[in-house]
């Protein structure tokens, strides 16, 4: 029995509801460049969700340090110009360097710039800037989101900046350190409604950052589809992705449903909370995993979805 990625993507499709995140990002995209920068500043400072400083390791910043030092030495006007170029994805040397940073280095770069803005070394918004109607509309839309969705909007906005940024190609080099875990994740996991050992092993492996163990649970052409992204196919690609994006996650699954299909395969949906090391225990994201297992119990496909609302945690209807 073979599956196509397309057929696998549609498992539990009746539980899929439109997410407000792409809609909010589309509103953001329509803003002028100064409005985008101002929006991010207001959203970042007003939401009051604090980034865990431990996440911004000194070693991680070393990749962004050169750029940050250049920016520090610039005039205020030039600093704005650089930020505009990044937000506009302009083809300039600085914007190109940014474009090849890994996701975590991009986030660390803006975190540090944000700190410099708070200290007054870099000015936060252009002098004389008046908040436009567009900015207040997008800000209002962001305020309606739950905290996990808010940080996802911020993250996606940052990751899309710079020239030639391509999340799918972004890789973390071996030189970049692992995220420090502030508190150990639970080693043993119990999920109401789930006894399948593949599923439990997958979740436990992620909690230990044991990506080799996680990969071993997939078929060689198995696929992993992250939130709002295309499926990533095969051991090597999934492992590279996990090394870059799944370090230090706290996985706290709550409940699930497992359904045997006529051909001996199984579809499993699990919902629960995931914490990112960037925000630690301060922000929980409501997440669903939709697994397709072959008759041998290997993962053919898993989609990770950001839930549209906390009520979706209980939405485990099959089909
Ligand atoms: O422009 O099972 C200023 C997978 C103003 C793996 C600013 C997973 C100017 C498999 C404020 C300075 C990974 C898929 C900007 C599971 C300006 C698996 C700065 C899921 C930009 C479960 C802004 C993992 C700043 C998940 C500093 C769902 C913004 C992980 C910083 C999700 C934003 C992680 C940050 C998320 C956002 C992390 C740090 C959503 C971090 C978000």
The full set of domains in the chain, from first to last, is 5-18+177-314 (3.10.450.50), 20-169 (1.10.2090.10)
Q: What is the mean pLDDT of residues 36-53?
A: 87
Q: Which two tokens stand for residue 223?
A: 């696929």
Q: Which of 50, 105, 113 to mutate to test the pocket of ligand 1 (most atoms within 8 A of CB)?
A: 113
Burial (CB count within 10 angstroms: exposed 0-12, middle 13-18, buried 19+), residue 2: exposed
Mean pLDDT of the chain: 90
User: pLDDT digit string (tens) for 189-212?
Assistant: 899 999 999 999 999 999 999 999
Q: Whose CA is nearest to atom 11 of ligand 1?
A: 41
Cβ of 244 closer than 6 Å to ligand 1, yes or no, is no
Distance 150 CA to ligand 1 centre (A): 9
Cβ count within 10 A of residue 206: 22
pLDDT at residue number 212 = 96
Q: Whose CA is nearest to atom 36 of ligand 1?
A: 152
Say which residue the tokens 């080099």 belong to: 173
Nearest to 237 by CA among 215, 256, 265: 215
Q: Which of 154, 157, 185 to mutate to test the pocket of ligand 1 (most atoms within 8 A of CB)?
A: 154
Q: Which of 43, 223, 276, 291 to mutate to test the pocket of ligand 1 (most atoms within 8 A of CB)?
A: 276
List the beta bridge partners of residue 252.
273
Distance 154 CA to ligand 1 centre (A): 6
d(CA 69, CA 82): 13
What percent of the chain is predicted at pLDDT more than 70? Answer: 92
Distance 55 CA to ligand 1 centre (A): 12
d(CA 126, CA 300): 50
Distance 196 CA to ligand 1 centre (A): 31
First to last CA, the chain: 19
Q: Which of 107, 126, 251 to mutate to test the pocket of ligand 1 (most atoms within 8 A of CB)?
A: 107
267 and 205 Cβ atoms separated by less than 8 Å: no
d(CA 218, CA 202): 9
Q: Work out the angle at residue 66's Cα, subtended by the Cα atoms of residues 64 and 71, and round it to the nearest 5 degrees.
A: 95
d(CA 186, CA 207): 7
pTM of the model as a whole: 0.93
Cβ of 44 closer than 6 Å to ligand 1, yes or no, is yes
pLDDT at 170 over 70: no
User: pLDDT digit string (tens) for 294-318?
Assistant: 999 999 999 999 999 888 999 887 6
């Amino acid at each position: 029995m073979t599956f196509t990625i397309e057929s696998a993507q549609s498992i539990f499709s009746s539980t899929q509801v439109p997410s407000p995140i792409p809609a909010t990002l589309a509103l953001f995209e329509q803003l002028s460049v100064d409005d985008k920068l101002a929006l991010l500043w207001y959203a970042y400072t007003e939401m009051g969700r604090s980034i865990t400083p431990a996440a911004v390791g000194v070693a991680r910043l070393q990749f962004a340090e050169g750029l940050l030092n250049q920016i520090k030495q610039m005039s205020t006007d030039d600093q704005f110009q650089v930020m505009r170029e990044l937000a506009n994805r302009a083809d300039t040397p600085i914007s190109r360097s940014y474009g090849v940073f890994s996701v975590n280095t991009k986030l660390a770069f803006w975190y540090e710039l944000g700190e410099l803005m708070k200290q007054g070394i870099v000015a936060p918004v252009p002098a004389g800037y008046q908040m436009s109607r567009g900015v207040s509309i997008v800000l209002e839309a962001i305020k309606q989101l739950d905290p996990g969705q808010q940080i996802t909007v911020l993250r996606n906005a940052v990751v899309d900046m710079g020239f030639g940024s391509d999340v799918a190609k972004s890789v973390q080099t071996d030189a970049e350190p692992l995220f420090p875990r502030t508190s150990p994740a639970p080693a043993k996991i119990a999920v109401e409604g789930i006894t399948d050992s593949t599923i439990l092993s997958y979740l436990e492996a992620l909690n230990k950052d044991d990506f080799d163990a996680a990969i071993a649970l997939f078929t060689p052409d198995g696929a992993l589809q992250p939130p709002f992204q295309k499926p990533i196919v095969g051991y090597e690609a999934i492992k590279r992705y996990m090394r870059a994006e799944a370090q230090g996650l706290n996985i706290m699954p709550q409940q699930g449903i497992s359904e045997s299909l006529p051909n001996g395969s199984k579809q499993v949906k699990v919902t629960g909370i995931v914490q990112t090391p960037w925000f630690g225990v301060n922000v929980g994201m409501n997440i669903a995993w939709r697994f397709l297992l072959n008759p041998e119990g290997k993962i053919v496909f898993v989609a990770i979805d950001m839930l549209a609302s906390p009520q979706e945690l209980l939405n485990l209807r099959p089909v």
